[in-house]
Structure 1
Amino acid sequence: MSGVSEPRGKILALFTGKIESRWPGKAPSAINKQLAEAALRLEENGFVDDRQADLKVHGGPEKAVHHYASEHMEFWRGMFPEQGDQFVPGCFGENISTTGLHEDNLCLGDILSLGTARVQVCQGRQPCWKLNEHTGIRAMAAQFQKTACTGWYYRVLKNGVVAAGDDMKLLDRSNPEWMLKRLITARFDPNLAVADALELSRLPALSANWRQAFEKKSQSGFTENTDSRLLGT
């Protein structure tokens, strides 16, 4: 990997969740992740102890693991000081909290070690209304999207065992021009250049859902209504 910067991370904590009915009249969720006290087995669809409520939009091979940078917590405490105490690792329903890795030093398609497993960055997170309900902040999902501090998802290339304290190392980088911050910003940009949308729609490292989204964004006159996802309306 000559010329490739090599960001490294350290796992602070791992989190898994179970399906719960938490909000009257609304769909159940597994966003309320709890700290894992021991090492976890990672397989194609994620950590074996983790669950997702709506498998149409959560989980699966291309959303196997959600990673969130602990470095962002200070930013959120500053933005929402009255709720600042809740911004700690695990608070957004992530599976992994680390130091050293974030949207400004990882790229689409990056392959990293994760314990004895191997994973590949394949998309950012599309925040939804459940994040608002979970945090008690109605603007949370919209601010996630606006800042592009959404975290990202991995596909699992090699099964293995992962534990808090493990180091994470960049093993390969195939798309250095698509830093995660740029990719996530592009996904939510209503005025994204057609050339960028087409390029992204053809990148094999990108998840199928995001490739399809960028293919739509490349079409003349296409508009995307995000109210239902962000507000639950």
Structure 2
Amino acid sequence: MQILGTLERIFIGKAIPFEKKGTDRVFKSAINKSLISGPVNVNEMGIIGDEVGDTKIHGGIDKAVHLYPSEHYEFWKSELENCNDLNQFGAFGENLSTSGISEKDVCLGDEIKIGTCVFEVVQTRQPCWKLNVKFERNNMSRLMQDSLKTGWYFKVLQVGVMVAGDDIILINRPNPSWSLNKVVNLLYKDKLNYSDLSELAKLRLVPSWQKMVTNRLKNKKVEDWTGRLEGKD
């Protein structure tokens, strides 16, 4: 076992209506989350009391809990001057705010213990247009994608309880050559590296990622990101 970092803060949110400026489009989102003091209970779907606005895209077993390293905030403060949203952690809708770890320290498939919970790192975040609405910047989702500072999602392997201050403990690393830094670089920068895509396809991936990697290899092109990044149907 290896201590990777510390769980500093826990956030949960309720799904409430948002309006996309300049349109008549209203949607629900739980991106505005509240800091929780004290322990939280975790089941297979995530932290009890946390909600998602669009169950077709967010939440579920393979996106049960979202972690975002607190160290990334300094980068965003330098990128987005005078952005009041960055004055408090939780701005990106993360459930877990941590210290000591980032995408370079974690690998796809890692099994991680926090409190009495055991999680698996199953995918990185693929930023969507709702970040644009939250930050009132029409390119915020693309900025996060280009930065490669996306954070990641956990699948819950063992339900339990966790609290701010708990150690983040690595208990198993089946894919040591696949840091999340390498993953997001392949997804968003070195997008048609067929050798790496072929190797990634051999791993146990969530269904949407398996489809994405398979299609890139088969079609020799990258999927269209417009809908996800800009909210265009």
Give me the TM-score of the superposition, normalised by structure 1. Answer: 0.92
**DSSP 3-state at the match of 2:126:** coil
1:91 aligned residue:
91
2:44 aligned residue:
44
What CA distance in whole angstroms lies between the structure 2 residues aligned with 1:62 and 1:222? 26
Q: Deviations over 1:46-89 (max 9, x none)?
A: 01111111111111111010000000000000001121562532
What CA distance in whole angstroms lies between the structure 2 residues aligned with 1:189 and 1:54? 28
Q: Deviations over 1:138-166 (max 9, x none)?
A: 22110111111000001111000011111
What CA distance in whole angstroms lies between the structure 2 residues aligned with 1:8 and 1:191? 29
The answer on 1:19 being equivalent to 2:15 is yes
- CA shift, 1:11, in A, is 1.0
2:140 aligned residue:
140
Confirm or deny: 8 A CA contact 2:192 2:221 kept in the other structure: no
Superposition pairs of residues 1-233 of structure 1, within 5 angstroms: 6=2, 8-23=4-19, 25-83=25-83, 86-189=86-189, 191-204=191-204, 206-233=205-232
**DSSP 3-state at the match of 2:185:** helix
What CA distance in whole angstroms lies between the structure 2 residues aligned with 1:88 and 1:181? 25
The answer to which of 52-61 and 221-230 deviates more is 221-230
**DSSP 3-state at the match of 1:131:** helix
Q: Deviations over 1:160-209 (max 9, x none)?
A: 001111111111111111110110121224742222222212211x3221
One-letter amino acid of the counterpart of residue 65, structure 1 = V
**DSSP 3-state at the match of 2:73:** helix
- CA shift, 1:7, in A, is 5.0
Confirm or deny: 8 A CA contact 2:212 2:223 kept in the other structure: no
Confirm or deny: 8 A CA contact 1:195 1:218 kept in the other structure: no
Confirm or deny: 8 A CA contact 2:121 2:153 kept in the other structure: yes
What CA distance in whole angstroms lies between the structure 2 residues aligned with 1:211 and 1:188? 16
Change (3 A) 1:7 1:182: farther
Query: How much identity, in percent, do the aligned residues show?
Result: 38
What CA distance in whole angstroms lies between the structure 2 residues aligned with 1:87 and 1:131? 16
Confirm or deny: 8 A CA contact 2:61 2:155 kept in the other structure: yes
Confirm or deny: 8 A CA contact 2:8 2:164 kept in the other structure: yes
**DSSP 3-state at the match of 1:120:** strand
**DSSP 3-state at the match of 2:165:** coil
Task: Structure 2: give runs of 5+ residues left out of the alignment.
Answer: none
One-letter amino acid of the counterpart of residue 184, structure 1 = V
The size of the alignment, in residue pairs, is 228
What CA distance in whole angstroms lies between the structure 1 residues aligned with 2:55 and 2:18? 18
Bigger share in strand: 2
Give me the TM-score of the superposition, normalised by structure 2. Answer: 0.92
What CA distance in whole angstroms lies between the structure 2 residues aligned with 1:85 and 1:17? 16
CA RMSD, aligned part only?
1.6
